[in-house]
Amino acid sequence: MAARRRPGSAGTVTWNERTVQVGGLDVFVRTSTPPVPDATPIVHVHGFGISGASLLPTAERLTTIATNVVPDLPGHGRSERWDHAMGIPALAEALVELLGLLEMDRVVLVGNSMGCPVSLEVAHMAPELVERVVLTSPAGGLHNQPFRRAMRQMLQDIPREDARMARIALPDYARFGPVNTANLFAELTRFPTLERVLRTNVPTLAVIGTLDPLMPPPTRVMELARQAHPDLTVVIIEGAAHAVNFSHPGELTHVIRSWLEGREIRDDPDEPGLSRVVHLPRA
């Protein structure tokens, strides 16, 4: 196990880095130190083709309230490459196995992009394991179909993201490979993420950026919200695109902390972006 100190706006955070064998594959995991006793660990789940490094700006800020775990899912980032990309259900199974190996019996999942359907699958497979779920930019479903439409949406998103994201994204996608990226992205577009939210029986926070072309229009969100369980909270961050965890970590952290601590979610005036709660009509 190696320790790496990472400077950030939340101060210097120390991450213990190690690999764990999951289904015969070496999976790279970062765990914040020192541990926060009596707090449910927060596990961050990244999107397709990219690594957990893209989630560190938010994760490092949340280390003050809980132990944070940031894995690179099998085949991604610094985890062992495979000859083909694992699909969303297989990645969820691998995450459940990983959490067992880390001796974590109760967690909060914070997903971004494809990490949202993976988190939803974990909550479906092992509801006793998941205390709460945060879905940031929950892509997948009819709004991203057909595949060529989703590709246009991705291309629209690129210039809207923080330019510093390229230092992580370009090496990660190059290593993951264009074929694996295309195959996994195609599976993501077919996954009914928003509909699956309706079947999730754990408290859920969905965070959506107004500049994210992969998200459905507000009318569709409200339509689905009429059928949602009462423990669903939806927050809009003005000016954010798809990679909210990287581009707006301060505002996102403020929203997540407020929700986890049961406080009213208000905009943080010291952070970029304007966050507002969507008041959901219920059936």
Q: Given a cut of 70, is residue 171 above it in pLDDT? A: yes
Q: What digits encode the pLDDT tens for the residues 143-159?
A: 888 889 989 999 999 99
Confidence (pLDDT) at 81? 84
- Domains by residue range for the chain, with CATH: 19-278 (3.40.50.1820)
Distance between CA atoms of residues 200 and 195, nearest Å? 10
Which residues are registered as beta bridge partners of 2? 17
DSSP notation for 109-158: EEEETTHHHHHHHHHHH-GGGEEEEEEES---SGGG-SHHHHHHHHHHHG
Distance between CA atoms of residues 212 and 210, nearest Å? 6
On whether the CB atoms of residues 130 and 107 are closer than 8 A, the answer is yes
Confidence (pLDDT) at 144? 87
pLDDT band of residue 249 (cuts 50, 70, 90) is very high
Please indicate whether residue 111 or residue 82 has the higher confidence score (pLDDT).
111
Q: What digits encode the pLDDT tens for the residues 73-105?
A: 999 999 998 777 789 999 999 999 999 999 999
On whether the CB atoms of residues 178 and 200 are closer than 8 A, the answer is no
Give the helix ranges, DSSP H, for the chain: 56-62, 88-101, 115-125, 147-157, 166-176, 178-190, 193-197, 218-225, 244-247, 249-260
Average pLDDT, integer, range 199-204? 90
pTM for the structure as a whole: 0.93
